[in-house]
Structure formats: structure tokens, C-alpha cells
């Protein structure tokens, strides 16, 4: 009886506290048990979030769990800005970094359905500079290059099998830095059209289609979207994705009237606690990043691989569209068959430990599920401590966002998916 009362009180608390925010996000609320979720288990997510804040591993975080099209759990903990004493809320805006990649991939597949792009198209059809790409010769230290055996295709970019990498690669990172190539985590006053031409002149890490390497592939796709659509990536996102889905708070650059809602970024201090990151660059060899990139500079470099900022509510709407097979609230972005193609493993043995579709990681088997009943789920995470997953079979979505780098001793995002699945009752 006491447990029943406790559960009822918990559900009333959720409704009273989060109903306005949830309704603004366009998804109805549900009592956890009616969504097949344990309220007591869901409460463990909030307990872990609070523990991270109390131990100064995180300034704050927001988590949402939705099932069967309804929000069953929404929790905000800690501070959006410690120094200004601003509480974290479901309306807080986060830098989502690589959670931009699924959005860009959806844009590409919308153009695929329009007949403007084919997966087998060479990238050089849209960016001619990629016509004669070279590959870094194996086992060498002097930047020797060899010809590519085949052209990079749109599918290679979507699956991260193009041979492009990121700045932290010890061989190609210095070349990227020398060429002024950025990645969405730094202010950049150039444009995609200029930077992608420069990127095309730098050798690939490996032959296209012969290995899985996480890197700048989706930034290149951003330029493909621009060429194929005749719009900037920002315009395409706004007109074809954000406006139809009601994602009103998702932007490459934060409008001035929303700046007060942008969360501050923190890093762990060596002796414990957190330090705030601002406009000063953090340099790690050829890789560098800055926390002020969403609001400084000329606001015209649209990184399809890592440039967006968003809210938990907006990204929930994007995720629900995918879970629904490409449609939300009567607005269809993609066909059901296209979403299935995107969320099916496309790389096979090229990637160990996880599958990868057209823009998402995919859990292929029980071993990759690590004890969770989540085979078939897909998702991704972001540099600044954000993560999401979608499970089509269980009709389940989980999103957790903070603003931290490096992660230090924080384990919230690593444990979040496990805690959500442990809450599933049926």
C-alpha cells in the first residue's frame, strides 16, 4: 500500500512539475506504469543525476524517457550556470555536437527520397575537388600518398567508411590543422564551400569502404546538402526539418533572445570540482575546441558533423519522428522504408563492438547489447556530454544532456541507457 501511494505521489509530482514543459514539446504525458515503466526504477536516474551534482562531477543535467509516444519521465537537476545561479530546466539549450550528425543524415536521406542524391553517387558530383583523392600510404611517416582505389560515395560518408578522420589522429590531425579545417567545436568565419575544398586535398586515412573511421564525413555531407538543395545547411534544416517538427530551439548559432538559456560548459578540475570553460581554446595536440562557438564569429560556418545546439524537448521530437518511421504530428519527413534503411547495420565487420547505419550506431546482437534487451536500438552521443537512443521494438526513447568535457569521473551517460532499460516492465 505504501509503495502504491509513493508511486502515485511521484506521478503527481511529475505531472505538476513538468506538464507545461512537456506540453510545449508536443508529446503528451503518461504515468510511468501505463507506459510499461517502473517509476521506482526511473527515479534511480534522477538519483544518479543528483549524485553527480552533489559530488561536483556535473553542474547539472536533464533526462527524458518517452515510451509509446508519451513522456513517462522528465527530470532536471543542478545548475545550467553555477556562477549565475541559474537552475537547469527542460528549456535549457545544450551544445549537442555530434548529435548533429543524425540530423544531417536525415537531411541527406530526404534529398535521396527527392531524387536529388543517390547513395552510390561519388562525392565529386557535388564537390568536384574530391574527384582525385589520395590515401595516406600505410606504415609511413613522411606523408607519402597513393591513389584511391575508388571514389568516396555518399554512402561512405553516411557510414563513416570514407577514410576521413578527426584532428586527434596523429597522422592526419596536423594536416587538418595546417589547412584550417574545423569540426564544429570552434568558431570559424569561413564557409563549408571553402573548407571542404581544402579537406579534399588532404589524403585519406585508408581506402574508401575498407574500414570504419569516425571523422569529418558528415561535415562533407553538410556541403553535399547545400549543393544538392541550393540552400545553406542552416536554411535546409530550418525549412525541411526544424519547422515541420516544431523544433523551435534548435540552432547552429543561438539567437540573442535565447542566450540566457544556453548552458555553461564545465571541465573537471584536477583536485576535484568543476571549472568553467569559455572563450579560451583548449588545445590537445592538433585538436582544439572552445565553448563559445555557438555565439561568436560571423555565424556562417554550419558544421553538419557537430555544430548544432538544441533542447531535450526538441531532440525528443526529432527522435519520436524516427521512432514513428519518419513522421510526427501529420508531418512526414521520410518514408518508413528509408528510416529502416538508415537504422540497419551497413558496415558489418568493418566496425567492431557496434554496428553503424546511415547516421546512427546500431546495436546488432546480444554481445553488443552488453546484457540489455536493446538489440535493434540506435542512437549516438555528443562531445559535450549528451546522448540519446531509440528502440523501435520497445517504442522507447531516452535522452540525457549535460555540458561537460572531458567527462572525468562522470558516469551518468554511460549508465543512463542501462537505467532506462531496467525500468522497462513489459
Tens-place pLDDT, residues 210-234: 999 999 999 999 999 999 999 999 9
What one-character DSSP code corresponds to residue 385?
T
Q: What is the dihedral angle through the alpha carbons of 345, 349, 353, 357, rounded to the nearest 10 degrees?
A: -20
Q: Do residues 204 and 135 lie in contact, with contact meaning Cβ atoms separated by under 8 Å?
A: yes
Helix axes 217-229, 192-200, angle to 10 degrees: 130
Distance separating alpha carbons of residues 387 and 405, to the nearest angstrom: 13
Q: What is the pLDDT of residue 140?
A: 61
Q: Do residues 412 and 75 lie in contact, with contact meaning Cβ atoms separated by under 8 Å?
A: no
Cell numbers linked to 162: 570514407
Q: Do residues 215 and 273 lie in contact, with contact meaning Cβ atoms separated by under 8 Å?
A: no
Q: What is the pLDDT of residue 141?
A: 65
| Residue 257, C-beta contacts closer than 8 angstroms, at least 6 positions apart | none
Cell numbers linked to 147: 591513389
Q: What is the pLDDT of residue 16?
A: 45
Tens-place pLDDT, residues 357-401: 999 999 999 999 999 999 999 999 999 999 999 999 999 999 999
Q: What is the pLDDT of residue 53?
A: 98
Distance separating alpha carbons of residues 263 and 249, to the nearest angstrom: 13
Helix axes 217-229, 101-114, angle to 10 degrees: 40
Total number of residues shown for the chain? 426
Cα dihedral 222, 298, 175, 179 sign: positive
What one-character DSSP code corresponds to residue 27?
-
Cell numbers linked to 202: 588532404
Q: Do residues 104 and 225 lie in contact, with contact meaning Cβ atoms separated by under 8 Å?
A: yes
Alpha carbon of residue 414 to chain centroid = 15
pTM: 0.94
Q: What is the pLDDT of residue 138?
A: 85
H or E segment and range at residue 196: helix 192-200
Cell numbers linked to 386: 549528451
Rounded to 5 degrees, what are φ and ψ at 65?
A: -130, 125
Distance separating alpha carbons of residues 162 and 164, to the nearest angstrom: 6
**Domains, in order of start, for the chain:** 2-98+239-422 (3.40.710.10), 102-229 (3.40.710.10)
The answer to whether the bond into 260 is cis (omega within 30° of 0) is: no
Q: Which residues of the chain have pLDDT under 70?
A: 1-26, 140-142
Distance separating alpha carbons of residues 137 and 205, to the nearest angstrom: 8
Pairing state of beta strands 94-95 and 309-310? antiparallel
Q: What is the pLDDT of residue 139?
A: 74
Amino acid at each position: 500500500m505504501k509503495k502504491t501511494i509513493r508511486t502515485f505521489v511521484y506521478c503527481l509530482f511529475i505531472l505538476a512539475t513538468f506538464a507545461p514543459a512537456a506540453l510545449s514539446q508536443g508529446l503528451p504525458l503518461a504515468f510511468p506504469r501505463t507506459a510499461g515503466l517502473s517509476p521506482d526504477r526511473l527515479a534511480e536516474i534522477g538519483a544518479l543525476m543528483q549524485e553527480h551534482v552533489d559530488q561536483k562531477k556535473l553542474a547539472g543535467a536533464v533526462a527524458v524517457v518517452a515510451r509509446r509516444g508519451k513522456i513517462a519521465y522528465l527530470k532536471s537537476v543542478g545548475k545550467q550556470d553555477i556562477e549565475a545561479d541559474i537552475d537547469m530546466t527542460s528549456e535549457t539549450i545544450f551544445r549537442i555536437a555530434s548529435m548533429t550528425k543524425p540530423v544531417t543524415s536525415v537531411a541527406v536521406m530526404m534529398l535521396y527520397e527527392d531524387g536529388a542524391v543517390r547513395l552510390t553517387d561519388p562525392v565529386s558530383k557535388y564537390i568536384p575537388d574530391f574527384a582525385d583523392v589520395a590515401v595516406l600510404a600505410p606504415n609511413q611517416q613522411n606523408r607519402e600518398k597513393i591513389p584511391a582505389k575508388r571514389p568516396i560515395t555518399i554512402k561512405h560518408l553516411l557510414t563513416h567508411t570514407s577514410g576521413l578522420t578527426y584532428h586527434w589522429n596523429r597522422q592526419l590531425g596536423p594536416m587538418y590543422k595546417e589547412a584550417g579545417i574545423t569540426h564544429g567545436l570552434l568558431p570559424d568565419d569561413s564557409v563549408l564551400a571553402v573548407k571542404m575544398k581544402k579537406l579534399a586535398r588532404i589524403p585519406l586515412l585508408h581506402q574508401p569502404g575498407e574500414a570504419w573511421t569516425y571523422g569529418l564525413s558528415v561535415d562533407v555531407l553538410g556541403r553535399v546538402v547545400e549543393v544538392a538543395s541550393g540552400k545553406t545547411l542552416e536554411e535546409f534544416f530550418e525549412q525541411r526539418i526544424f519547422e515541420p517538427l516544431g523544433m523551435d530551439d534548435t540552432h547552429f548559432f543561438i539567437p540573442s533572445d535565447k542566450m540566457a538559456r544556453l548552458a555553461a560548459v564545465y571541465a573537471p578540475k584536477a583536485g576535484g570540482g568543476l571549472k568553467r570553460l569559455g572563450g579560451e581554446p583548449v588545445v590537445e595536440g592538433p585538436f582544439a575546441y572552445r565553448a563559445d562557438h555557438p555565439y561568436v564569429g560571423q555565424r556562417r560556418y554550419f558544421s553538419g558533423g557537430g555544430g548544432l545546439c538544441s533542447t531535450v524537448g526538441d531532440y525528443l521530437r526529432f527522435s519520436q519522428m524516427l521512432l514513428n518511421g519518419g513522421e510526427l504530428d501529420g508531418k512526414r519527413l521520410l518514408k518508413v522504408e528509408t528510416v529502416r534503411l538508415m537504422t540497419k547495420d551497413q558496415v558489418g565487420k568493418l566496425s567492431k563492438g557496434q554496428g553503424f547505419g546511415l547516421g546512427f550506431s546500431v546495436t546488432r546482437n546480444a554481445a553488443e547489447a552488453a546484457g540489455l534487451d536493446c538489440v535493434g536500438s540506435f542512437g549516438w552521443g555528443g562531445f559535450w556530454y549528451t546522448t540519446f537512443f531509440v528502440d523501435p521494438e520497445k517504442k522507447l526513447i531516452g535522452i540525457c544532456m549535460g555540458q561537460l568535457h572531458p567527462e572525468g569521473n562522470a558516469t551518468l551517460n554511460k549508465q543512463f541507457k542501462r537505467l532506462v532499460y531496467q525500468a522497462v516492465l513489459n
